[in-house]
Amino acid sequence: MRLFLTLLITTTLAAAPSSRRKVIINEDCSGPGGSNMQTVLLLLQSPGVEVLGITIVSGDQWRDEEVAHTLRLLEIIGRTEVPVMLGASAPLVRTREETQLWEDRYGKVAYSGAWDKRWWHEASVVPPMPEGQPSVKPSTEDAVHFLIRMVHQYPNEVTIYEGGPMTNLALATTIDPEFPQLAEELVFMGGSLNPESDNPEFVNNPRHEFNFWFDPEAAYIVLRAPWKKIVCTPTDISIKARLSPQEVKKIEAAWTPIARYVAKYYLPGDGNDYMWDELAAAAWIDPSIIRKKETRFMSVDIDHGAGYGNTLTWHETDRPKVTVQPVEIQFDLDFGKFIDMFSSLMTKPAH
């Protein structure tokens, strides 16, 4: 009888659905440290979140370099059970050569990610890693088929968190048109409307934002897809969230592997301390962080002219007749609540 009860309890617990919210992190995981890696840490550290996997896309750095940084991070914090999948290594259409010609005609952009001449190298090259080379390997499954498989395995339960160019999501949508509808929602950092900033990336063109700009066609496909809900953290609100040296000192004092990692690879100033992606993830975990939001219809300029890659938005009364989707756009936050959440998660032991 005792054995029967033990088996019954074990079976019941195994069959019970997880109360944690499921998410796939789709990110251009440049590293070490910085906004992309700190977002991965934030989601992994949140007790109410189950990270099903991390799908990598080229953006801030090349995919292979980003994969190596991600694997090494998971080793450092003891979370190598989380699978890492290789995604798209290049945008759908845009090329570096075309972009250089575009800049000759329309002017230089302040930041061009993996294409930026300040740190340019071939896509297959993984430069020396300050944090050391990983010993674990990525999954043999590719990012796109992992994304599709997960939403079919857990229909209406998986949030897609997007912190980089949308190439992987566009490919998944093209291969399986059911992909967006089977997800619970799309949460992404991207787009730019009218940020109040002297950052050179936005001064000349406030509608320019890197994630859209790097692969405009991908963002165009994804934003037209029939997701049940789309939530956008644009540059307008991200520039209001910066990680200060004082806060990093507080985090470092915890002296856990995570706290030491955050502190060691923190780069203050020059735009490196903006918490672009962390805010999008934190607001998904706790929506009360957001003080102001509104719904608009959103798309991306894919005409290969001066506005190529720019964010397009409309209110209900003036939206075009072509297919566009409503997007919940965040505009203001409770920074104190946000930074308290971030610091708390960065100072607790890895779980």
Give the integer Cα–Cα distance in Å for 61 and 126: 10
**Do residues 75 and 136 lie in contact, with contact meaning Cβ atoms separated by under 8 Å?**
yes
Query: Residue 12 pLDDT more than 50?
Result: no
Radius of gyration of the chain (CA): 20
pLDDT number for residue 294? 97
Query: Residue 237 phi/psi, 5° resolution?
Result: -100, -30
pLDDT number for residue 306? 96
Query: Residue 180 pLDDT more than 60?
Result: yes
This prediction has a pTM of 0.93
Q: In this predicted structure, which of 16-30, 136-150, 249-263 has the lowest mean pLDDT?
A: 16-30
Residues 6+ apart with CB under 8 A from 61: 28, 29, 30, 31, 69, 113, 114
Domains along the chain with CATH numbers: 18-347 (3.90.245.10)
* Helical residues (DSSP H) of 107-176, grouped into ranges: 143-153, 167-175
Give the integer Cα–Cα distance in Å for 109 and 170: 24
Query: Residue 274 pLDDT more than 60?
Result: yes
How many CA atoms lie less than 13 Å away from 274 in the CB half-sphere? 17
| Chain segment 292-319, per-residue pLDDT in tens | 999 999 999 999 999 999 999 999 999 9
| Chain segment 67-115, per-residue pLDDT in tens | 999 999 999 999 999 999 999 999 999 999 999 999 999 999 999 999 9
Confidence of residue 18 (pLDDT cuts 50, 70, 90): low
pLDDT number for residue 200? 87
**pLDDT above 70 covers what percent of the chain?**
95
Task: List beta partners, residue 7.
Answer: none
Give the integer Cα–Cα distance in Å for 289 and 337: 6
